[in-house]
């Protein structure tokens, strides 16, 4: 193993810890991914988690976003700053031909957060969700080796659904931070004046109906996104199905709390996650394996699909085709080494008492 490979493994270990602490739903689902996908996906999510925390901080400013953009520029130049997540992502975007437009759109979504932007209509809210979550779906699709427009569209829609679920779950937490992500139009239809409600956020029947409406839209997108799971590599389907089931279950937990996401925060228990992981890795996958009609992509994610389409699969940021293939082969070799190490560890535990 060369020095670059060792460094990537070290950086990846730090990324794993970031995800273990900060994104439990992703961490649970990612354990089912094959290692060749899990490693780069972990690097991607760690960078997203860290940059999201920076942008979401109470003291985040325009300068915070400029700093993130500079970090991304350095990543795509192959000269990342001295941070594990940045170094790991630089390897990933080069190896999997991830167009820069995708993480740039993600950072644009962060910019909207720092501006405390509100969204008058549901379609405007989806424009935001496309940036902070649809982008991640598209990048995950590329890491899994799929670039077809229909598959990318379904991956983006899964991101939209997940973000809508997050918004429905975090109404109270967002309000405490001075933010409203619920469609303003929907609130007014229920007799709620957004500014007045934000000054004194209370749970009531009106806000519960808005949350219920948002979860209903999320469920439509989850159903539509399922169509693309069968197009993914067979060994990636369980993890994506698990992510879909675990995030949708957050919505069910909100419903069990009588749609009160203002005074309490819905959490899916570890036991329930294990049950859903089991479902995702067994009979339920048969449903996702059936090819069905692919609906037209929502306008909010069309620009993400176009960014993938216009990026040739063999395009590199400071690297040759040979370098890219070498990186991928090296990654697979490291995966095998870790498997052998794990098998030896298990064998040692079994043999030790016999000695």
Q: 171-225, pLDDT tens digit by residue?
A: 999 999 999 999 999 999 999 999 999 999 999 999 999 999 999 999 999 999 9
Q: How confident is the model at residue 325 (pLDDT cuts 50, 70, 90)?
A: very low
Averaged over 85-96, what is the pLDDT?
91
User: Which pTM does this prediction carry?
Assistant: 0.82
Q: For the chain, give the percent of residues with pLDDT over 90.
A: 53
327 close to 8: Cβ distance less than 8 angstroms: no
Domains contained in the chain, number: 1
Q: Which CATH number characterizes residue 115's domain?
A: 1.10.600.10
pLDDT higher for 26 or 295? 295
Query: pLDDT by residue (tens digit) across 213-257?
Result: 999 999 999 999 988 998 999 889 888 888 899 899 999 999 999
Phi, psi of 313 (to 5 degrees): -65, -30
Q: Is residue 92 part of a domain?
A: yes
Q: Is residue 355 part of a domain?
A: no
- Residue in the block written with tokens 């919505």: 251
pLDDT at 311: 77
Q: Is residue 353 part of a domain?
A: no
Lowest mean pLDDT among 44-48, 114-118, 338-342: 338-342
Averaged over 116-131, what is the pLDDT?
97
Cα 22 to Cα 116: distance, rounded to the nearest angstrom: 23
Q: Is residue 32 part of a domain?
A: yes
Instruction: Inform me whether the pLDDT recorded for 283 exceeds 80.
Output: no
CA 334 to mean position of chain CA atoms: 25
Which domain does 249 fall in, by range?
A: 3-348
Q: Is residue 354 part of a domain?
A: no
């Amino acid at each position: 193993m060369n020095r670059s490979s060792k460094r990537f493994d070290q950086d990846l270990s730090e990324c794993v810890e970031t995800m273990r602490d900060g994104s439990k739903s992703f961490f649970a689902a990612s354990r089912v991914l094959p290692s060749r996908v899990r490693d780069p996906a972990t690097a991607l999510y760690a960078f997203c988690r860290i940059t999201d925390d920076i942008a979401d901080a109470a003291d985040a400013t325009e300068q915070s976003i400029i700093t993130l953009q500079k970090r991304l520029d350095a990543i795509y130049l192959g000269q990342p700053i001295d941070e594990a997540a940045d170094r790991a992502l630089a390897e990933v975007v080069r190896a999997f031909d991830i167009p820069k437009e995708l993480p740039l759109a993600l950072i644009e979504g962060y910019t909207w957060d720092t501006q405390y932007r509100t969204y008058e209509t549901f379609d405007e809210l989806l424009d935001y969700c496309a940036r902070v979550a649809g982008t991640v779906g598209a990048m995950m699709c590329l890491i899994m080796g799929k670039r077809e427009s229909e598959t990318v569209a379904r991956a983006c829609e899964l991101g939209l659904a997940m973000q809508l679920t997050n918004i429905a779950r975090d109404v109270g937490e967002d309000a405490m931070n001075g933010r409203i992500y619920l469609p303003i139009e929907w609130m007014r239809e229920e007799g709620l004046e957004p500014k007045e409600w934000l000054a004194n956020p209370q749970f009531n029947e009106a806000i519960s109906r808005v949350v219920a409406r948002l979860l209903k839209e999320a469920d439509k997108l989850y159903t539509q996104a399922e169509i693309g799971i069968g197009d993914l590599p067979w060994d990636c389907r369980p993890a994506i199905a698990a992510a879909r089931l675990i995030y949708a279950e957050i919505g069910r937990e909100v419903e069990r709390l009588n749609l009160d996401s203002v005074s309490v925060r819905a959490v899916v228990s570890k036991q329930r996650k294990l049950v859903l992981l089991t479902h995702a890795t067994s009979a339920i996958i048969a449903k996702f394996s059936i090819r069905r009609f692919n609906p037209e992509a929502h306008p909010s994610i069309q620009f993400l699909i176009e960014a993938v389409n216009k990026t040739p699969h063999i395009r590199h940021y400071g690297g040759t085709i040979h370098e890219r293939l070498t990186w991928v082969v090296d990654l697979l070799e490291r995966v095998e080494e870790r498997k052998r190490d794990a098998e030896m560890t298990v064998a040692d535990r079994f043999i030790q008492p016999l000695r």
